[in-house]
Structure 1
Amino acid sequence: MAEEKTLTEEEQLQTTMGLIIHAGNAKAFAVEAVACAKDGKFAEADEKLHQADQELVESHNTQTGMLTQEAQGNHIKVTLLTVHSQDHLMNAITFIDLAKDLVDVYKKMAELSK
């Protein structure tokens, strides 16, 4: 049986904060994308959505690393901050999906008003 190794509090904190930061950045870029689309700046909106997706990938990678550590027996202590990080990720995913639809709606409205 493999020996279990728990992550240090510092390692857990760094990982959790990384997840929060990348998820927060992802959502912020998606919010900016909607604002750009609302102003008819569709190229900027698309770039913001691309940036949101990149941050989301980073956030997913961080989460995958956490899950991998857990699966390998390197358990983390579940704290309110850990739960908060997962909440940030899920909210970012949901908002990015919605933002993509909103940008598409603004593009269609702009086409129809020509």
Structure 2
Amino acid sequence: MNVEEVSFQIILNGGNARSLAMEAINMAKTGEFEQAEQKIEEANSDMTKAHRFQTQLIQGEARGETVEIRLLLIHAQDHLMNAITVIDMAKEIIELHKKIK
């Protein structure tokens, strides 16, 4: 798989993970905590997929393969980091909504 394909997989899975985490927050707002937790699990699954693609690039570089740094790859990394942050914050927000209810 080339760097563009890997980048698109990171964007796809990272974006899905972020969206699922946002859905989880919205479910927690309405007291749907079991569904919110399910969305977090789905988000974690998609984030893990994105992370695996990122790991492929890192391992390739460790083997001495040259990875061309392109804007698309930087964009993909941005998606992954945003997904990680939103999932972490969503977990905290869900817990806060549980305490409020």
Query: Do Structure 1 and Structure 2 share a fold, with TM-score over 0.5?
Result: yes
> Are 1:44 and 2:62 matched, yes or no?
no
Which residue of the partner structure matches residue 24 of structure 1? 15
Give the whole-Å Cα distance in 1 for the aligned partners of 2:17 and 2:33.
18
TM-score, normalised relative to structure 1: 0.85
Which residue of the partner structure matches residue 96 of structure 2? 105
Give the whole-Å Cα distance in 2 for the aligned partners of 1:15 and 1:62.
6
Which residue of the partner structure matches residue 70 of structure 2? 79
Structure with a larger share of its residues in helix: 2
Give the whole-Å Cα distance in 1 for the aligned partners of 2:69 and 2:55.
16
TM-score, normalised relative to structure 2: 0.96
Identical amino acids, percent of aligned pairs: 38
Question: How large is the Cα RMSD of the aligned pairs?
Answer: 1.0
Larger Rg: 1
- Secondary structure of 1:29's aligned partner: helix
Deviation at 1:75, TM superposition (A): 1.2
- Secondary structure of 1:75's aligned partner: coil
When the two structures are aligned, how many residues end up with a matched partner?
101
In the alignment, which of 61, 65, 69 is matched to residue 60 of structure 2? 69
- Stretches of structure 2 lacking an aligned partner (at least 5 in a row): none
- Stretches of structure 1 lacking an aligned partner (at least 5 in a row): 1-9
Deviation at 1:27, TM superposition (A): 0.4
Deviation at 1:24, TM superposition (A): 0.5
